[in-house]
C-alpha cells in the first residue's frame, strides 16, 4: 500500500542548532553555498524584557498539489508512488520555472548538476531503506518526526492525533505534507 510520508516540525522543541542543516548537506552532498534546508530564527518578538522567539525549519513542504510539478515542462518534477515530490535530474533542463512557482523558496539550481534540487525526504538514500531522513535522525531538540500517516500506529499518526498540525501558506492550496506544531510558541 502506498505510503503517506509526513514530516512533523514541533516548533516548541526546535533550538535552531542546525544539526539538520549540516546533516542534509552531507547526506545529499549539496554544493557549497546551497541548502535543501535551513532553520533560522523566525524573528525576535516583543520588547525587552518580554521577548520570545522560535526557529522554523525551512525546506520543501512536499505539496500534494504542487505548483512546481504542474508547471514543469518536462515532467522532471513529479510525485513518486508514495506522494513524495521528486526531481528527475535526467529530464530536468534547468528552466527554473519550478523555482518561480514554489511559494516556499524550497528549490534551487544545483551548481554541479545544473538541475533543480530540493529536499527529497531523503527518499532514495534513507526512507526507501526503512531509515529516517538524515535531518530527522540527527535532530538535537527532538523537534522532528517522520513517518507514514497511513499507518495509524506510526509516531506521526499518534502525535497528530493529540496535537494540532498546521501547514504553511495554506492560502495557496498546495496541501503540504510537512506539518508544523505551534503549541507552546508565541507567533
Q: Least separation, in Å, of the C-beta of 40 and ligand SF4?
A: 9
Distance CA 67, CA 103 (A): 8
Question: Judged by CB under 6 A, does residue 22 bind ligand SF4?
Answer: no
Query: Which residues lie across from 109 on neighbouring strands?
Result: 116
DSSP state of 115: S
Task: Label the pairing between strands 116-117 and 108-109.
Answer: antiparallel
Site string for other proteins, 115-144 (x = CB under 8 A): xx-----------xxxx--x--xxxxxx--
Distance CA 42, CA 126 (A): 29
Nearer Cβ to other proteins (3/91): 91
Question: Judged by CB under 8 A, does residue 161 bind other proteins?
Answer: no
Nearer Cβ to ligand SF4 (6/27): 27
Question: Judged by CB under 6 A, does residue 36 bind ligand SF4?
Answer: yes
Torsion angle, CA of 86/91/92/97, rounded to 10 degrees?
-80
Nearer Cβ to ligand SF4 (25/160): 25
Question: Judged by CB under 6 A, does residue 84 bind ligand SF4?
Answer: no
Amino acid at each position: 500500500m502506498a505510503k503517506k510520508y509526513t514530516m512533523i516540525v514541533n516548533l516548541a522543541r526546535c533550538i535552531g542548532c542546525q544539526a539538520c542543516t549540516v546533516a542534509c548537506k552531507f547526506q545529499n552532498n549539496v554544493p557549497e553555498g546551497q541548502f535543501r534546508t535551513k532553520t533560522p530564527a523566525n524573528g525576535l518578538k516583543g520588547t525587552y524584557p518580554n521577548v520570545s522567539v522560535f526557529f522554523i525549519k525551512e525546506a520543501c513542504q512536499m505539496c500534494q498539489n504542487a505548483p512546481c510539478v504542474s508547471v514543469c515542462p518536462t515532467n522532471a518534477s513529479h510525485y513518486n508512488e508514495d506522494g513524495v515530490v521528486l526531481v528527475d535530474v535526467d529530464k530536468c533542463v534547468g528552466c527554473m520555472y519550478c523555482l518561480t512557482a514554489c511559494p516556499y523558496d524550497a528549490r534551487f539550481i544545483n551548481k554541479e548538476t545544473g538541475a533543480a534540487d530540493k529536499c527529497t525526504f531523503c527518499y532514495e538514500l534513507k526512507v526507501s531503506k526503512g531509515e529516517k531522513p538524515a535531518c530527522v535522525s540527527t535532530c538535537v531538540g527532538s523537534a522532528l518526526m517522520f513517518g507514514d500517516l497511513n499507518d495509524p500506529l506510526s509516531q506521526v499518526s499518534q502525535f497528530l492525533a493529540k496535537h494540532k498540525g498546521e501547514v504553511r501558506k495554506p492560502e495557496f492550496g498546495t496541501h503540504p505534507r510537512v506539518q508544523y506544531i505551534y503549541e507552546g510558541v508565541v507567533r
